[in-house]
Chains A and B, each alone.
Chain A
Amino acid sequence: MNGSPSSLSALRLGRSQPAASTHEASAERRYPLGLNATGILAALSLLLVVVSVLAAGAGALPIPPGDVLAILANKIGLGTGPSADSRALQYEMVLTGIRLPRVVLGILAGAGLSVAGALMQGLFRNPLADPALIGVSSGASFGASLMIVLGSLLPGFLASAFGSFSIAIAAFVAGLIVTWIVYRIATHGAQTSVTTMLLAGIALNALCGAGTGTLVLFSNDNQLRDLTFWSLGSLGAATWTTVLVVAPLTILAIALTPRMARALNAMLLGESEAQALGIHTERLKKSVIVLSALAVGATTAVTGLIGFVGLVVPHLIRLSFGPDHRLLLPASALLGATLLVAADVLSRTLIAPSEIPIGILTALAGAPFFLWLLLRSQGGAWGGSARGGGAFAGARGSASGGKGGFTDA
């Protein structure tokens, strides 16, 4: 109409205040230690490797890190060949038979739970959201209880087919079913309401809790003990078989999420804003729910309930590096893996030869940390300035009374 279309560069400039920073610093976010995003991921990867090697060496039979590395190198054909030394043989057996599957399971579980937490927080646009919100954990818990208490009623051929996996299978299936119900309740036509999903999740969590409670009522002492320990979580079930079961689902979830990072960033603005930015929001919601449910379901089925990792780890990353999902998702996976592997070392060494359930440790460390975050975010008397209060601005909206929290307006 008014000549050919042109770039908006021709727009007049606004009345910007004299900028102190624009010339000396670029507008890009500045990360701690002068690292860039790649550097941060490299540093976190290195940390994970170091912690994993140390964790593999820790236990009733300590294995020096050097030997751990040598055995690993041998395994992948880089070393000097197997040693005939009996101590070295013992090292290798302990490492490959017991320690390594446990470390690898810890890595998978920590990474899966943390990524699922980051996804949920993005989906619900609330930095305090947790993977449990969509019912997968309570569903898994109910499924596991069902199998622990009533498993003996299974027809013999089923029991022998599932064997020692029957509890894990029941937990996984029940977790997915409950998530599916939550999703169906919140979906009308082609649209899923995030708010309804949150409320339906709360209701189904309560229902599953009631179901689990009822089963407790009918359980004998042994079953009660199994139930209790299942609900406290443990990596004790780690074998190469469980690792192989958990790995595909968790790795799938972690591998697919980077493609959703930009869309999740846009989603933080709100659903309609994300749509206006060209995001298929319904497709995104579905992917996020499916991937989180698979990762959390598979992990929980094998390890039992491990709380706070999915909540706190993405939080820590956001605090330090900002909310950009392109960094948040992989960094959460790495840090979550590291923390869970470290927690597992404590769980199996602190009161050896007994084990402390890992869920106790993650809650023991995670809950106070979380409370500290809450208090800090309120500012005022508890320290931390209310405005411009540093990196924690992330949780302000929801921590202060829920305003700006769970909305899908």
Chain B
Amino acid sequence: MLELRNISYRVGDTALLDRVSLEVHPGEVLAIVGANGAGKTTLTNILSGKKTPQTGDVMLDGASIRSYEPSALARRRAVLPQFSNLSFAFTVFEVVLLGRTPHQTSASVDAEICLEAMRVTGVEHLASREYPTLSGGEQQRVHLARALAQIWHPNGDGDRYLFLDEPTASLDLAHQHHVLHIARDCAKLGLGVMAVLHDLNLAAEHADRIAIMRQGTIAALGSPDDVLTSENIEAAFDISVMVTQHPHAACPLVVAVPEEDIDLRLAREEQALNETIQQLLNE
């Protein structure tokens, strides 16, 4: 199990994270949602070891991740960055192959794994293209393949984890769902998946648990049904929403309702009520 224990991270006087505790379990998809500046990225950075918190610690199977050898950690935990600034002309295949850096496997094994990972994320046909020439969405799927190749096989060390930082940011609708299906399937295969998402409905549909972040704390944590209430969302995002049932999936569906619409709706409801009363009075 991967665990954030009582993490605080401040820059100057501002607490970006304030005594946050959170667990990522093997076999689940945990979605992190929250408004801009709520602390999602800081949380991911701390979880992936990029930033060190002032207090608290990140624990993997009960031991601080700082006590792990970096390559041993890398064999268990892959990170898909929000974007990656690679201007060198690696081919797509070579970029995916970088995912095998922490492994001492043979070149043929590495190549086989990378080809499979590229098939999974649908970038196999781009294998010999130069990475800088790809579109943003294609680049993101290349990096997903790289992250998958990194933790492709179970190894004796323990459970594997996949961190996705806004994995759907530059993807079209079909690929957004495809990527989250991959995350879902990874969880089914025993991985612990944590994804920072902006789209509440993608989170509702694909996550086992959702953590809503607000001002550096976790404001709500639990199943989509429990967490995605209009009160929670309005408090975290400062926007009025309606939460209904998804027409096809067994999960909530969040619809933003701008303020003026609410006034209009209230006015209509009031009018309808008045009419009913009038009718009743007339009878």
Q: In the bound complex, what is the Cα–Cα distance between A277 and B80 (angstroms)?
A: 11
Whether A277 contacts B85 by the Cβ 8 Å rule is no
Q: In the bound complex, what is the Cα–Cα distance between A307 and B36 (angstroms)?
A: 48
Chain B stretch 258-276: residues in CB contact (< 8 A) with chain A: none
Chain B stretch 109-132: residues in CB contact (< 8 A) with chain A: 111, 114-125, 127-130, 132
The answer to the question of A155 belonging to the interface, with a C-beta cut-off of 8 Å to chain B, is no
Partner of A322, one of B71, B94, B181: B94
Partner of A21, one of B70, B77, B128: B128
Whether A277 contacts B151 by the Cβ 8 Å rule is no
Residues of A within 8 Å of B174, CB to CB, are 15
Residues of B within 8 Å of A323, CB to CB, are 88-90
Residues of B within 8 Å of A387, CB to CB, are 133
Whether B115 contacts A27 by the Cβ 8 Å rule is yes
Whether B125 contacts A16 by the Cβ 8 Å rule is yes
**9-residue interface stretch from A97-105, A251-259, A368-376, A389-397:** A389-397
Q: In the bound complex, what is the Cα–Cα distance between A166 and B159 (angstroms)?
A: 60
Whether A27 contacts B127 by the Cβ 8 Å rule is yes
Measured CB to CB, the nearest residue on chain B to A328 is B88
Residues of A within 8 Å of B246, CB to CB, are none
Secondary structure at chain A's binding surface: helix, strand, loop or mixed? Answer: loop
Indicate with 1 or 0, residue by residue over A238-261, a CB within 8 angstroms of chain B CB atoms: 000000000000000000000000
Residues of A within 8 Å of B81, CB to CB, are 270, 272-273, 276
The minimal Cβ–Cβ distance linking B259 to chain A, given in whole angstroms, is 37
Q: Nearest 7 A-B pairs (CB), nearest first?
A: A397-B87, A14-B122, A278-B74, A1-B27, A278-B71, A278-B102, A5-B190
Q: In the bound complex, what is the Cα–Cα distance between A270 and B146 (angstroms)?
A: 14
22 of the cross-chain contacts (CB-CB < 8 Å) are A1-B25, A1-B28, A1-B190, A5-B159, A7-B153, A11-B182, A12-B120, A12-B185, A14-B122, A14-B123, A16-B123, A16-B124, A16-B125, A21-B128, A27-B118, A263-B101, A266-B98, A268-B88, A269-B95, A277-B101, A278-B73, A323-B88
The minimal Cβ–Cβ distance linking A263 to chain B, given in whole angstroms, is 8
Residues of B within 8 Å of A397, CB to CB, are 85, 87, 132
The answer to the question of A4 belonging to the interface, with a C-beta cut-off of 8 Å to chain B, is yes
Q: In the bound complex, what is the Cα–Cα distance between A388 and B130 (angstroms)?
A: 7
Residues of B within 8 Å of A12, CB to CB, are 120, 181-182, 185
The minimal Cβ–Cβ distance linking A354 to chain B, given in whole angstroms, is 42
The answer to the question of A96 belonging to the interface, with a C-beta cut-off of 8 Å to chain B, is no
The answer to the question of B49 belonging to the interface, with a C-beta cut-off of 8 Å to chain A, is yes
The minimal Cβ–Cβ distance linking A387 to chain B, given in whole angstroms, is 5
The answer to the question of B79 belonging to the interface, with a C-beta cut-off of 8 Å to chain A, is yes
User: Chain B: interface residue count, which band?
Assistant: 35 or more
Residues of B within 8 Å of A9, CB to CB, are 116, 152
Indicate with 1 or 0, residue by residue over A3-30, a CB within 8 angstroms of chain B CB atoms: 1111111111111111111100111111
Whether B79 contacts A14 by the Cβ 8 Å rule is no
Partner of A5, one of B101, B102, B130, B160: B160
Residues of A within 8 A of B (CB): 1-22, 25-30, 125-127, 262-263, 265-266, 268-270, 272-273, 275-280, 318, 322-324, 387-389, 391-398, 404-405, 407, 409
The answer to the question of B93 belonging to the interface, with a C-beta cut-off of 8 Å to chain A, is yes
Measured CB to CB, the nearest residue on chain B to A392 is B89
Measured CB to CB, the nearest residue on chain B to A281 is B70
Whether A276 contacts B79 by the Cβ 8 Å rule is yes
Residues of A within 8 Å of B191, CB to CB, are 5
The answer to the question of B186 belonging to the interface, with a C-beta cut-off of 8 Å to chain A, is yes
Q: In the bound complex, what is the Cα–Cα distance between A68 and B129 (angstroms)?
A: 46
Evaluate whether A275 and B49 lie within 8 angstroms (CB atoms) in the complex, with A7-B152, A11-B120 already known: yes
Partner of A29, one of B45, B94, B118, B187: B94
The minimal Cβ–Cβ distance linking A79 to chain B, given in whole angstroms, is 42
The minimal Cβ–Cβ distance linking A273 to chain B, given in whole angstroms, is 6
The answer to the question of B248 belonging to the interface, with a C-beta cut-off of 8 Å to chain A, is no
Measured CB to CB, the nearest residue on chain B to A11 is B120
Evaluate whether A409 and B89 lie within 8 angstroms (CB atoms) in the complex, with A276-B79, A277-B150 already known: no
Q: In the bound complex, what is the Cα–Cα distance between A13 and B69 (angstroms)?
A: 33
The answer to the question of B148 belonging to the interface, with a C-beta cut-off of 8 Å to chain A, is yes
Q: In the bound complex, what is the Cα–Cα distance between A204 and B154 (angstroms)?
A: 49
Whether A22 contacts B127 by the Cβ 8 Å rule is yes
Q: In the bound complex, what is the Cα–Cα distance between A280 and B102 (angstroms)?
A: 11
Q: In the bound complex, what is the Cα–Cα distance between A394 and B112 (angstroms)?
A: 26
5 new A-B contacts, CB < 8 A, other than A14-B122, A263-B101, A404-B87, are A1-B27, A272-B48, A277-B74, A278-B73, A322-B90
Partner of B120, one of A13, A127, A324: A13
Q: In the bound complex, what is the Cα–Cα distance between A8 and B73 (angstroms)?
A: 18
Q: In the bound complex, what is the Cα–Cα distance between A15 and B123 (angstroms)?
A: 9
Evaluate whether A279 and B70 lie within 8 angstroms (CB atoms) in the complex, with A18-B125, A27-B127, A273-B79 already known: yes
Q: In the bound complex, what is the Cα–Cα distance between A405 and B85 (angstroms)?
A: 9
The answer to the question of B188 belonging to the interface, with a C-beta cut-off of 8 Å to chain A, is yes
The answer to the question of B178 belonging to the interface, with a C-beta cut-off of 8 Å to chain A, is yes
